[in-house]
Amino acid sequence: MAPFDLNLARLDRLMLRHKGGLTGTSSGKRLSNKFGTSLEFADYRPYLPGDDIRRIDWALYGRSRRLYTRLNRSELDATVNIVIDGSASMAWGEWSKGRRSLALAFALGYISIRSYDRVALAMGTKDVGSFLPPVHGRAALPRIAGFLERQEYGHAGNVSSLLLSLKKMLRPHQFTVVISDFLSDWRQGLESLVSARQQVLVFQVISPDEAEPQWRGPLTLVDSETGGRKDVELDQFTLAAYKQAGEEHRREIRDYCRSLGISSFVYNVGTDPVDFLVEIAPAILRTT
């Protein structure tokens, strides 16, 4: 059984769409800013549409009848950092935002590993509490799954503090994915990633109950992080105001991300992570 019961085979031909100039430490599918500094042969990879046909190894094609591109030492893999908000609010809902977020993180890690990239994982509330240093290769997938399976949610969180803590661990020109419900301060944290010269991808997670509440009547709402309580009467007017506030919150995050050059998506955890990634693939992924 695949980790998190995911149909990973559907992701086999997908890779993250990098903007270019990303660097790492071993040969892979990405072209770094150092391209051309060395012509020393390093490795092969399958030919991709758009590759320079002058770099096809025709001798290898003659033996295998498959196209391969020659890689130089200056062609480096990207490091993909995936950070998950570990605050208590992420564990809420019939469809746990937390469990689905971990599954989404694994699916993204799987895509990156399949693309010969390096993957680092981080999780925390107000700072990085758990960290898996960059790993690469198919043999690293069990380590990624094991790290994610061990994570727990709890305590009050602050997305900005978490990302500021992560920033100290990043190198310029990497790819950083943020998975959070963004129910705490987040602006400064996203700005810090951009200032650290990261290519940033944001997933705002919501549960079906948050998107379309089914409750009615008098209720006592309990803040999952502070324990604060509030008595409310959920009628059609209150629910309409709630939905409007939720839409405005999501729009605010989307517009702010756009102003920073960040790609952002809302992930409703009632949807399987693989289905979700396949659906948004044209925007952030490309087919190999």
Domain boundaries, given as residue ranges, for the chain: 14-72, 79-287
Give me the sign of the Cα torsion angle 158, 268, 242, 96: negative
- pLDDT, residue 29, reads 52
Neighbouring residues of 225: CB distance < 8 A, sequence distance ≥ 6? 87, 88, 89, 155, 156, 157
Annotate 154-207 with DSSP letters as a single string.
Answer: -S---HHHHHHHHHTT--SS-EEEEEE---S--HHHHHHHHHTT-EEEEEEEE-
Report the Cα 98 to chain-centroid distance in Å: 14
State which residues of the chain have pLDDT below 50.
21, 23, 25-28, 31-40, 73-76
- pLDDT, residue 32, reads 47
Number of H helices and number of E strands within the chain? Answer: 8, 12
Kindly compute the dihedral angle of the four CA atoms of residues 53, 54, 60, 62, in this order, to the nearest 10 degrees. Answer: 70
Neighbouring residues of 82: CB distance < 8 A, sequence distance ≥ 6? 105, 108, 109, 119, 120, 121, 122, 176, 177, 179
- pLDDT, residue 93, reads 67
In whole numbers, what is the pLDDT of the chain averaged over residues?
85
Give me the sign of the Cα torsion angle 248, 210, 231, 223: negative
Residues 145 and 105 sit within 8 Å (Cβ to Cβ)? no
pLDDT tens track for 76-112: 468 999 999 999 999 876 668 999 999 999 999 999 9
| Residue closest to 159 by CA, chosen among 250, 83, 93 | 83
Q: Does domain 79-287 have CATH number 3.65.10.10?
A: no
Single-letter code of the amino acid located at 166: L
> What is the pTM for the complete model shown?
0.81
Q: Which bin fits 47, alpha (ψ -120 to 50), beta or left (φ > 0)?
A: beta
Q: Which residue shows structure tokens 């800013």? A: 33
- pLDDT, residue 47, reads 74
Angle at the Cα of 245 from the Cα atoms of 93 and 269, rounded to 5 degrees: 30
- pLDDT, residue 54, reads 84
Q: For residue 34, give both structure tokens.
A: 């150092």
- pLDDT, residue 159, reads 97
Single-letter code of the amino acid located at 37: T
- pLDDT, residue 77, reads 60
Single-letter code of the amino acid located at 96: S
